[in-house]
Structure 1
Amino acid sequence: MREILVPWVEKFRPRTLDEVVAQDSPVATLKRFVETGNLPHLLFHGPPGTGKTSAILALTNDLFGPVMLRQRVLELNASDERGISTIREKVKRFAQQSIAAKPSNYTHPCPPFKIIILDEADSLTSDAQSALRRVIEIYTKVTRFCLVCNYVSKIIDPIASRCAKFRFTPLPPDVAVGRLKEIVIQEKVACDDANLEVINDISKGDLRRAITLLHSVHRLYKTRITKDRIVELAGIVPDVIIQSLMHVFQVTQSQRDLNTIIENDIVRNGYPAVQLIEQIGDEIIKVHGINSIIEEGKDTTENINSKQKKQSKQSMIIDLDDDDGQKGLKKDKKVEMDKDDETGNDEDENRDLVGLRDEQKAQIALSIAQTERMLIDGANEELQIKSLLSLILGCFRRG
């Protein structure tokens, strides 16, 4: 008999609210809704892979059970059906339907309303959202709406104000790795804890991405999962390329060297632009963010102590007469010149250590955000990579 292949994301999706992990506050409130049988319109928002869709599906399963689920729940992915016609046809038609009575001796609450789930609702056009607002107003007595999105700012205020909002946060590493361990044990996958942590680090709190990556590596190689196989399948840019870029930024500062790396190492190997930008941003933050602030603090403390010592030495100069006073004045000037020279050297060393001023760090952060937005809108990846990396190189040159 042929094996039925089910993606692990669906196979291990929580079926009840008790199985939803690391979202204690939203889950506790949703459980109270199930107990009372009363439900407002809902708006779930937060990063991808944090359990938003799983939570609402678990909620509907707890409310209606497997028998009444299809009759009472409509799930639509707004990224595929994002136009006003979807709201007018599918959503409005389902909202108009009468409510079927629940079977006798039914153990689930099954309250007298239907639920419409709009996943990725931030993809709805403004006209579709305006039409949806009107549908919510008309059919609110017999239908509850649950909107799931990544960016709550893209939901118009008239809809957002009608919903109870729940923010889902990225899963803590220990929780995500623990969930991956459960899957590894059940599926009998040869993967140690260190590699599960690598998968979680790559996924950055996105459990769906982590499970998908684990499943993909297992299906492709069939044998023991290793770090190299994980990195290769995840499309991670090798660390040697990232360090080569940082070397160009900090040492050679050559546009020719930068173009060579982009064309020969990045574009030719087909590394995703979004992944490259993410790794470069992380590397710059690691090298020129927290570490530089710590070192700046140390340097500042050392400079203050050095100045205090020199000032105490200057205060010991005593002018006994005019001639001695002139000598003392010359000594004071000499000490000041020496002090300025040393302070200047400290500043130069500090600049070499930090590499970037705050304004340039802000400019790089803004450019990374703009580049990611343009890539989402369909801009050419190679041009965006060249533009961003050239801008970063310019910031280091001015540093």
Structure 2
Amino acid sequence: MTPEELASLIRAVLLDAAAGGRVALDPSDIPDPVRVERPRNRDNGDWSTNAAMQLAKRAGTAPRDLAALIADALLDAEGVESVEVAGPGFINIRLAASSAGQLAAAIVEAGDSYGANASLAGQDINLEYVSANPTGPVHLGGARWAAVGDSLARLMTASGARVTREYYFNDHGSQIDRFARSLYARALGREAPEDGYGGQYIADIADRVRADARAAGRPDPVGLPEEEAVEAFRARGVELMFAEIKERLSAFRSEFDVFFHEDSLHDSGAVSAAIETLRERGEVFDRDGAVWLRTTSYGDDKDRVLIKSDGQAAYFAADVAYYLDKRRRGADAAIYLLGADHHGYIGRMMAMCAAFGDEP
């Protein structure tokens, strides 16, 4: 017996008692589903519910009396070994040993369709996860989010939703510049620049960039003027790093429907357009030569810069444009799985969502 089946059984007992006049409950009073959970002390049983305590006042009876009514009915159910009323009205339920075997048999019989339901039918859900920076291989943290995200996508799909699995590729900004200059320095046999990247993978990618250029009949990048060389290492190096990330995620059996490039938001003018949309809504203001989003109006601890005083877009500006792009693609819900190092982004992301008139 699953917890869902147990919850349905308890609800059926309450509905039957209400229909028979044994309790003064209206069917609308009875929650659907009834909450069942693991008891803190597993010696008390496999599952417990406080439904009697929640409903006793409306039922016009004492919590323990209502709990006893439920317990007596549950004792007759197949797969239930014992039921105990505890404390002010908790119900502790122990399942028969055979119920585990019955559940295992049901899972095997159903195969891949086990657990499938229509609770999210008709919902379009955009799920973004992993989205690791393209400046190094996927590490353990990224692999963890790949596992969590892929599992969540499978669960929502099994519940009837249309799920878009999306990876946001951060191929814009200072980290990409440091990555390119690290490749260039390695190709020249120099130390990586301050705040740059090191490791064998940098050497391997630098060698690949040079080899690919020669194979294509182009000049070796190290012989170009510095800025041209850095751009050559940037363009090809990011491609190679991204290809490796995709290959490793695929080997991990975490597949994506969309790989969205941050750079496209800047190249297409989407960042400027998103900021203008917020300005038209009265959510943007200018201060100290910079452009700000008034996120404090929606619970953030401080307002956030969108365009810095030097005219460059802040990292958050692309997040704003990216959210608006998802919104225009028609998702009913956009789910972000953020790494532990991004916990500080939660407030600003929720505030940004609210600034567009949506419910976070």
TM-score (norm 1): 0.20
The higher relative CO (CA closer than 8 Å, separation ≥ 6) is in: 1
Structure having the higher helix fraction is 1
